[in-house]
Amino acid sequence: MSALNGKCLCGDVSFKVGAPSHLDSCHCSQCRRWSGSPNMSFDFTTVNFETDKSLKWFRSSEWAERGFCGTCGSSLFYRLVEDPSKMTVCAGAVDDISDDVKITKEFFIDEKPKFYDLAGERERLTGAETFALFGVEEDN
C-alpha cells in the first residue's frame, strides 16, 4: 500500500497515511460545524506523523476527540477515546488521492441540511444506523 502525504494548511502538522480504498462522508451537526461543510474522511487508519508539534485534540463527545492544527486551525483527525491508535483523516488534508477512490457511505443523512446533496449512489445511513454500525451508545 503506497503512502500519501498529508498536512495542515500551515505545515506544522504533517504525516503519511496509507492510500484509502474508499472515503466516507458525515453530515452530522458536529462534523459540519467542525469541518465548515460535510466531513469527508478516510476510514479509521494508522497515521505516521512527520511533525505534530501544533496538533491539538478537542473532546467533542463522550467517546471521541477531534484533532486540529493549533496554529492554522485545519480540521485533520477524529479518533475514539477507547482506541486512540487509529483515526479517521480529513480527505482535504491529503494529497494525491486516486481518482478511482469514491465515497461509499454517507453518515447521519437525517442531519443533512437541504441546501446540498452529494451526487451518486451509495449507502446512506441515519444517525441511529451509524451508531449501530460503530457500536456506540447514543447519549440519552
Find the shortest distance in angstroms from Cβ 136 to Zn ion.
Answer: 12
What's the rounded Cα separation, in Å, for the pair 56 and 31? Answer: 17
What's the rounded Cα separation, in Å, for the pair 84 and 103? Answer: 24
| 12 near Zn ion, judged by CB under 5 A | yes
DSSP type of residue 45? B
Residue 117: all three cell numbers together: 446533496
Contacts with Zn ion, 33-72, as mask; x by CB under 5 A: ------------------------------------x-xx
β-pairing, 55-59 vs 64-69, is antiparallel
How many CA atoms, within 13 angstroms, populate the side-chain half-sphere of residue 115?
A: 3
**Number of residues located near Zn ion, criterion CB under 5 A:** 9
- Comparing CB distances to Zn ion, the nearer of 31 and 87 is 31
Q: How many CB atoms lie within 10 A of CB 78?
A: 23
Footprint (CB under 5 A) of Zn ion, residues 15-34: 26, 28, 31
| 80 near Zn ion, judged by CB under 5 A | no
Find the shortest distance in angstroms from Cβ 101 to Zn ion.
Answer: 20
Binding site for Zn ion (CB under 5 A): 8, 10, 12, 26, 28, 31, 69, 71-72
